[in-house]
Amino acid sequence: MSELFDAVDALVASRSPLPPPAERRRLRQAHALTLDEVAAALDVRRATVGGWESGKSEPRPPEREAYARLLKQLAQLYPAPAPAPARAPESTGVVQEDTTAPRPGSETAPTAPAGSADTTGAAPARHAAPSPAAAPPPAAAARAGRPAQTSRRPGTAKTAVPRTPAPGGAYMHGPLLVLDADTERNVTGYGVDGLILDVPAKSLPALVEWTLTEAQLGSEKLHGSGKDGDALLVLTEAACERYGLPAALSEAERLAGRLPEGHKVIKQLERADWQLTKRGLGPWARIYRPAHGSRRQCVQLCIPSWRALDDRSWGHAAQLPPPELARVLGVYAARVMTPVGSTAVTGLQLMSVLNPPTRASEPDADGRRHREHRPGSLGTQPVDPAPCEAVDGHPVLAHLPRFHVRGPDERLFEEAYDWARDLTDAECMQQHLVGLDVNLAFGAAANGAVVGLASPPEHVTDPVFDPAVPGSWLVDLSHVDLSRVKVGKQWRDLDGDLLPSPFTPSGQRPTGPAWYATPTVAYAVELGYDVTPVEAWLRRESGRFLDGWYKRLRDAYVATMADLGVAEKLPPHQFLKAMDGYKSRDPELGIVVDAVKMTVKGGIGKLQEKARGGGWKPGQAWPALARPTWRPDIRATVISRARVNMHRKMLALAAATGRYPVAVLSDCAVYAADGPSPLDVLPYGTDGKTVPGSFRLGISPGMVKHEGTQSVLWGADVLERLGADGHVANLARYIKTGEVTAKDTGE
């Protein structure tokens, strides 16, 4: 009889009741469980659990009984919210896919218009991820009126990010989807705010067609004279294989940066009249058809397994599950822009997106409008640099001998600091070395920078220096003595040997005439010294081209740091406490913070992109030169301002306290101190204020945070190990972790 009972129990278990798919997802998220955790507990694949939650498959015994038990216990902990009032059917042919737990503005999915050709199958089925009941939504989500997602860590809420635009607009499904495929070759798209779409396309050409006609993906333009952002599709390894692409590139393909022209998928695209840009089908690919009128037909692909998401910019983003990756990229897209390549490429593109080169003209006699140059932009045509601004091998230098080495009187060399010195006896008696790092240093330097615009530079001999005119100046600054300088309006006597020169990246005092950008020469005047330029290349048409770019990136950085618990205007002690382990509060948002910082640095670097590839020869043009944004003069201005800003802060601190840096690397300065905290370096008073014009603790761009602390004994050891032939190791390079690599030691 017991065997019969067991059989009956097994029969009942085989039909264990389960809640609807969307409710299964809600319960999992409410308890802060990931798909991987559930899959491991039930001994199934992650994609299998995803299929249960999307409704594409149903669990079978013996997993079904265990899954039902899990959901039953979660339902007791997190009762379902009251259902929203029923909505009257709309007349546009939309179908409500999920009524279990609707998200405001996200209950419907579009179908193809009546009479239209259906090239991809059914319309996308949408599965909304309701907000968890375990915790109240964060402030950002509450302001936006949308639910928040939950973190993997119980009791911690993830931040919901505004869509681009809000649901109900032309792009109600957001800017991007991360596509994944299961073992049955079914494709699911994961979007922002927990969105899940069934993707019916069976081939890459059909996927592009579906994206443009039915998926409702994209982003609104960031400037009135600009264009909407293209949809981004991120393909996992499984999705690559589903659409006939390799999960990884071969070594030859990786070096080429693309698939070979004869690849079967490229031929499929060609047969469907889709085109690829010159960079081909690589980690970041753009698939398009020529625009019809003002309507763009373009889709961007991102393939993480082909190294599209460089770990120097995106950390471990490429290893994230699709929903989490969609969140990371969605936050970045909403706050910066939809990625169009590396963070450097995106940073450069953002400049033009926020400051478009053209605008619509006034109507002509026939009432028609055309595109015209937009004042304040860089225009549509590239501008040759001045010879002193050109990098080696540029066509404007083709007349130089083949192996000619240009000195400072021939070449503008505005770069970030890499300077260090030996410790003094007094510093050796102190206990600690403390690193201070400037937040978004290049971004802060870009803010308010007056740069040349669309006009070419004008050559002038014996010019009178004008700090308001951007350009490059040949001038001798070797007479500037840092032992006696103006700090503010007062002359101060300092130990000039303990400060780097503000005029060279190495910090060494210049020995004769050299080319400098306007901000560097202006700083020599600020220090109280006369300047007499010999010649100059000046740009009379100028403006603050980068202000909007800075503001966009600043806001993205500050908002994301606030989500991580680090707000602006915190008192020094509270700020240092908030910064302690801030990334661990939400590692995904930590990825976004790093990506924003690399967007700033990379965008500025791209203004002077050098030739790449083995086929290039000096004197020949390379593709980057065809861009109006190939502007080494703008890069030089920003880096000059960043270096001068750094020096001004170090000078003010030295004048007020007698403290001098022992090493400076780009935006990090290292000081000897008796204690391990930045507060042992910076003299904050009881009023919360420190030395005017010097370093200030805070999260805003231009302010500083704690980079790291090591012992003076550690510093002395590094200097001894790495010092040779008069070379002094830069302790700022190692202050964060204290680790010195074998490459640096020569071992």
Nearest to 745 by CA among 736, 737, 561, 727: 727
| Residue 545 CA to its chain's centroid (Å) | 20
Neighbours of 257 (CB within 10 A): 17
pLDDT in tens, 656-689: 999 999 999 999 999 999 999 999 999 999 888 9
pLDDT at 428: 96
238 band by pLDDT with thresholds 50, 70 and 90:
very high
Q: Please say if the pLDDT value at position 156 is more than 50.
A: no
Domains of the chain are 2-77 (1.10.260), 96-109+116-340 (no CATH)
Q: How far apart are CA 440 and CA 446, in angstroms?
A: 10
| Dihedral Cα 286, 291, 295, 297, nearest 10 deg | -30
pLDDT at 149: 33
pLDDT in tens, 341-359: 999 999 999 999 999 999 9
CB 624 within 8 A of CB 613: no
Q: Please say if the pLDDT value at position 71 is more than 50.
A: yes
pLDDT in tens, 281-322: 999 999 999 876 656 799 999 999 999 999 999 999 999 999
Q: How far apart are CA 183 and CA 192, in angstroms?
A: 24
Per DSSP, helices labelled H in 429-527 are 441-446, 518-526
Task: Name residue 71's amino acid.
Answer: L
List the Cα angle 572/577/580 in 5-degree steps.
130
In angstroms, the Cα distances linking 440 to 239, 551, 672, 699 are: 36, 12, 24, 9
pLDDT in tens, 425-473: 999 999 999 999 999 999 999 999 999 999 999 999 999 999 999 999 9
Task: Name residue 607's amino acid.
Answer: L
82 band by pLDDT with thresholds 50, 70 and 90:
low
pLDDT in tens, 16-50: 788 998 889 888 877 878 787 888 889 888 778 88
pLDDT at 134: 34
Q: Please say if the pLDDT value at position 99 is more than 70.
A: no
Count of alpha carbons within 13 angstroms of residue 371, beta-carbon side: 10
Higher-pLDDT residue of 742 and 411 is 411
pLDDT at 110: 36
Q: Please say if the pLDDT value at position 249 is more than 60.
A: yes
Summarize the confidence of residues 206-213 as an average pLDDT: 95
122 band by pLDDT with thresholds 50, 70 and 90:
very low
Q: Please say if the pLDDT value at position 563 is more than 70.
A: yes
Higher-pLDDT residue of 706 and 128 is 706
**DSSP H or E run through 233:** strand 231-235
Higher-pLDDT residue of 431 and 110 is 431
For the ranges 509-513, 648-652, 723-727, which has the lowest average pLDDT? Answer: 723-727
| Assessment of whether the complete model's pTM goes beyond 0.95 | no
Percentage of the chain modeled with pLDDT above 70: 85
pLDDT at 8: 55
**DSSP H or E run through 284:** strand 284-292
Summarize the confidence of residues 174-189 as an average pLDDT: 95
Higher-pLDDT residue of 138 and 547 is 547
Whole-number average pLDDT of the chain? 86
Higher-pLDDT residue of 559 and 91 is 559
